[in-house]
Amino acid sequence: METACPWYANGSDNFRPLKRLGWQMHVYGELNEIFRAEVTALGLPLAPFEWNNEAKSAGLERDAFYLIRPDGYVALASLAQNPAILLQFCKRRGLTFHLAESLNR
C-alpha cells in the first residue's frame, strides 16, 4: 500500500521540502546523530521536524524516519533510526543519491 507523506504544520510546513523533486529523508522528533551522519554520507537531503501534537494527529510516529520518494510518497518508514535498515533498503533497490543538503523549514 502506498502512502503519501501526511501533511502537518506547526510553524513549519512538512510539504515545503517536497517542492524539491527528489528523494529525501524526513524525521519527526529527535534526530539520532549516527543516523544523521549516515543519511548525509549517502547524499540524501534531510528534513528534520519538531515533534508536536500536529505530527501525532497526522499519524506520524515520534523519532521515526520516513524516506520520501520524488513523487512525495513514503518509500520506507521505520520507528528505529537504524542506518542498517536504510542501507539495506537502498542496496536492494540500487538507490543512490547525489545531493546532501538540509531541507530545514
Residue that the C-alpha cell 530545514 belongs to: 104
Name the strands in the sheet holding 65-68, side by side, starting at the edge strand that comes first in the sequence: 46-49, 24-28, 65-68, 74-78
At 1 the pLDDT is: 46
Task: DSSP letter for 67, please.
Answer: E
Please check the confidence at residue 4 and state whether its pLDDT lies above 50. Answer: no
Q: Which CATH architecture has domain 20-93?
A: 3-Layer(aba) Sandwich (3.40)
Q: Are the C-beta atoms of 87 and 39 separated by less than 8 Å?
A: no
Q: How confident is the prediction for the chain on average, in pLDDT?
A: 83
What is the pLDDT averaged over residues 76-92?
97
Q: Where are the domains of the chain?
A: 20-93
Higher-confidence residue: 71 or 7? 71
Tens digit of each residue's pLDDT (9 = 90 or more) over 35-61: 999 999 999 999 999 898 888 988 999
